[in-house]
Amino acid sequence: MSADQTKPSGRSSVDPFVVMDVMREANRLEATGRSIMHLEVGQPGAPTPENVRAVATEALNAGPLAYTDALGLPSLRARIARYYAEHHSVSVDPERVVVTAGSSAAFILTFLACFEAGERVAVPEPGYPAYRNTLRALGCDPVSIPVGPETGWALTPNLIDAAEAKHGRLKGVLVASPSNPTGAMLTGPQMAALVRHNEAADRWFLSDEIYHRITYGQPDVSALEAGDEAIVINSFSKYYCMTGWRLGWAIVPERLVRPIERLAQNLFISPPTLSQIAAEQAFDETTCLDENVAVYAENRRLLLEELPKAGITSFAPADGAFYLYADVSHLTDDSSAFCAAMLEEAGVAATPGADFDPTHGHQYVRFSFAGKTEDMGEAVRRLKTWLGS
């Protein structure tokens, strides 16, 4: 077979995840002895709660860690369903809970179960880049809808209608609240309006709720509060500090359960067993996990107070998650070069906006404040010197 015939497929030619490249460069500099403040990584600095690790250790020693049901351990599915009753006053049948290898696998499974190749799915821009890249890899057609300060950084029914008029029939809409990178959150009425609007248009509505419980005053509304038709995706990665355990979940309408089960059986066999056993404990660790959120809140306060003194003054709302999406258009028209120089010259790593928004992201930088408060203070000190303010 010639190299021409065995070239990589077109659908594998998705964009790289730039934050990973920034991380690699930051780590390389650190390995040479440089001190680097990590405001690029979108993961908690705090360890997985001790009791969760203890449950995992016990299970590891007891072994064997066999496959579980493709949809997950029944006890974990029931515990996740109970979380919706406790936190959102919503009744969810455990049969509708799908446990997955991180929310990333939940996106693959739900996209495959909902969309044919070639169908259009709307995603907000700026937004988490893997939405469009995963959709593309699966042969779907992501349609980016720009959101910004004028719309409160949120998708609205009007914006969806306008996108459909411009691009043609949309088969699905995906939102994230709180959003990565902006931290913007949908209110109850905004969420309900989106659920109703998409239901009326016979469109799948997917709500990424992976930053739930990391909020700074505004309630984290679940799309399930507006009915059973929404597809909700969540994860143990962020609030629960379990990124590397690779565990997430989806709540899906009943008619999707069996199709997703068939896909999950074939694509993944089962989610990671050890992580599933440990994750059940995570729901009982809210006291220590809320202490992490208090640290993020303090980091957020510090950055919002101090970054303007360094000359970075304009931010998306940051009502939830642990990111500040900053407008740096008065400082650069190329935030990738700006971030590269900031890393090299000031030793502060942050992510250029182009990762999240190919159209306007060159004027934005995302700062993650999931790390230590003292690192935030040091980062700001360095930026003040670097920017000469």
Ligand X SMILES: Cc1ncc(COP(=O)(O)O)c(C=O)c1O
177 contributes a contact to ligand X by CB under 6 A: no
Selected from 22, 108, 123, 210, the binder of ligand X by CB under 6 A is: 210
Partnered with residue 314 across adjacent β-strands are 327
What is 16-71 written as a DSSP string? P-HHHHHHHHHHHHHHTT---EE-S--S-SSPPPHHHHHHHHHHHHH-------TT
**Minimum distance, C-beta of residue 243 to ligand X, in the bound complex (Å):** 6
Nearest to 100, CA basis, from 110, 92, 90: 110
**Minimum distance, C-beta of residue 333 to ligand X, in the bound complex (Å):** 26
**Minimum distance, C-beta of residue 5 to ligand X, in the bound complex (Å):** 34
Residue tagged 């159209």 (tokens): 359
**Minimum distance, C-beta of residue 176 to ligand X, in the bound complex (Å):** 5
Selected from 51, 104, 218, 332, the binder of ligand X by CB under 6 A is: 104
Selected from 237, 281, 292, 299, the binder of ligand X by CB under 6 A is: 237
Selected from 151, 218, 243, 265, the binder of ligand X by CB under 6 A is: 243
CB nearer to ligand X: pick between 289 and 310: 289
Angle at the Cα of 205 (from 74 to 244), degrees rounded to 5?
50
H and E: helices and strands count for the chain:
12, 13
**How far apart are the C-alpha atoms of 310 and 132, rounded to whole Å?**
34
Q: Which residues contact 362 (CB under 8 A, 6 or more apart)?
A: 332, 333, 334, 335, 336, 352, 353, 354
| Total binding residues toward ligand X, as defined by CB under 6 A | 13
Nearest to 276, CA basis, from 24, 69, 6: 69
User: Residue 260 to residues 22, 83, 99, 113: CA-CA distances in angstroms?
Assistant: 35, 22, 11, 6
CB nearer to ligand X: pick between 90 and 206: 206
Q: Closest residue to ligand X, Cβ-based?
A: 102
User: For the window 10-49, what string marks contact with ligand X as x by the rule CB under 6 A?
Assistant: --------------------------------x-------
Nearest to 130, CA basis, from 96, 158, 102: 102
**Minimum distance, C-beta of residue 198 to ligand X, in the bound complex (Å):** 19
Partnered with residue 120 across adjacent β-strands are 141, 170
Q: Is the dihedral of CA 86, 92, 95, 96 positive or negative?
A: negative
Piece in contact with ligand X (CB under 6 A), picked from 102-110, 336-344, 360-368, 379-387 = 102-110
**How far apart are the C-alpha atoms of 136 and 350, rounded to whole Å?**
26
110 contributes a contact to ligand X by CB under 6 A: no
Selected from 248, 272, 317, 371, the binder of ligand X by CB under 6 A is: 248
Which residues inside 116-135 make contact with ligand X, applying CB under 6 A?
A: 128
CB nearer to ligand X: pick between 40 and 164: 40
208 contributes a contact to ligand X by CB under 6 A: yes
Piece in contact with ligand X (CB under 6 A), picked from 97-105, 224-232, 308-316, 338-346 = 97-105
Q: Residues interacting with ligand X, by CB under 6 A? A: 42, 102-104, 128, 176, 180, 208, 210, 235, 237, 243, 248
